[in-house]
Amino acid sequence: MSWVVVARKDFQDARLSRGLWAVTGLFVLMSVGFAVLYGTVPAVSQDIGEVSTLGFLTLLIGAVTLFVSIAAIVVGAGAIAGERASGSGKLLLGFPHSRADVVLGKLVGRTAVLGAAIVVGLIITLVVALALFDSFAPVDYAVFTAMTLVLALVYIGVMVAISATTGSGGRAMAFGIGAFVVLEILADIVPLAALFVVNGFSVPSGGAAVPAWVAFLNVITPSTAYTNALGWFLGDGSATAAALGAQLAGPVPFYLTGWASMAVLAAWLVVPLALGYRRFARADL
């Protein structure tokens, strides 16, 4: 498996760089800092309830989502574009590696870099949580960790795909930042615009029921799909409507469940990578 060789070398190179240690350190500081604040400052935990694992994870979701998306840009921007810019891409392909091996290997290697930072940070945070929280739910914590690793995989996939489309690390970074901004704007604008149109180009009155398909537009970006999936798997499913910020007309349909959000995340992983690989396969190095 030639892609394994690419992934191993990519991770080993990152392990020796300051970037991995910086990303790990920042995640540890953020995660542990939230845990200490939540466990020791009453004003932080009172709005959520008992000092518990679920309350802490609810507080942490937003910060983790932002961190993972930004860290993925930093870690993944130069995955392929950097190799092409330095000329090492030709050397890499001089070995028995196909371009598909390079894309898959870079995806796995860069995900391992970001995943290592996440796992180390959450393990250290686990120690703090056990010491400070009134109760601890290991299953909830494990689900949160696994879902965060999935989010890291998806965002790294998007960045590797972007990196595969250009021969400049700087352009890849700029495109990555642009993609992040667009996705965050889409998450806020598209549902409101759709609701405005289906309501006859007017703002619905307060308390009006929202069609479920409009609510689905709230969970079509990687970060919102991640948040919705966590809300579903860590709760009983009834919290999904509240997480969408909308009063649904009727029961929660399948396409608003956590499993549907997992499918959305899978689409964000596969489609950009396929498009990026197609462009990279045709590129003249």
What token pair was written down for 101?
A: 């091996």
Give the chain's mean pLDDT: 81
Question: Which residues, listed in sequence order, are joined to residue 210 by a DSSP beta bridge?
Answer: 248
pLDDT at 241: 43
Please give the Cα distance from 1 to 49 (Å, whole number): 50
For the chain, what percentages of helix, strand and coil (3-state, to nearest 5) are there? 80, 0, 20
Residue 92 has pLDDT above 70, yes or no: no
pLDDT single digits (tens) 21-48: 888 889 999 999 999 988 887 656 555 5
Residue 158 has pLDDT above 90, yes or no: yes
**Phi and psi for 252 in degrees, rounded to 5?**
-70, 120
pLDDT at 150: 97
What token pair was written down for 132?
A: 């400070």
pLDDT at 238: 43
Please give the Cα distance from 77 to 71 (Å, whole number): 10
Please give the Cα distance from 58 to 284 (Å, whole number): 47
What dihedral angle (degrees, nearest 10) is formed by the CA atoms of 20, 114, 123, 24? Answer: 30
pLDDT at 276: 92
Concatenating the DSSP letter of every residue in 132-195 gives H-S---HHHHHHHHHHHHHHHHHHHHHHHHHHTT-S-HHHHHHHHHHHHHHHHHHHHHHHHHHH
Higher pLDDT, 102 or 201: 102
Mean pLDDT confidence for 76-99: 68
Please give the Cα distance from 156 to 253 (Å, whole number): 30
User: Within 10 Å of residue 18's Cβ, how many Cβ atoms?
Assistant: 8
pLDDT bin (cut points 50, 70, 90) of residue 141 is very high
Please give the Cα distance from 148 to 151 (Å, whole number): 5
Helix or strand holding residue 265 (H, E): helix 258-282
pLDDT at 269: 95
DSSP tag of 248: B
pLDDT at 262: 95
Yes or no: say if 138 and 42 are a contact pair by the CB < 8 Å rule.
no
What token pair was written down for 91?
A: 């050397």
Higher pLDDT, 58 or 246: 58
pLDDT at 188: 74
Residue 210 has pLDDT above 70, yes or no: no
Which among 278, 27, 276, 4 is positioned nearest to 156, based on CA atoms?
276
Please give the Cα distance from 18 to 92 (Å, whole number): 23
Mean pLDDT confidence for 209-213: 69
Residue 254 has pLDDT above 50, yes or no: yes
Question: Which residues, listed in sequence order, are joined to residue 248 by a DSSP beta bridge?
Answer: 210
Residue 2 has pLDDT above 70, yes or no: yes
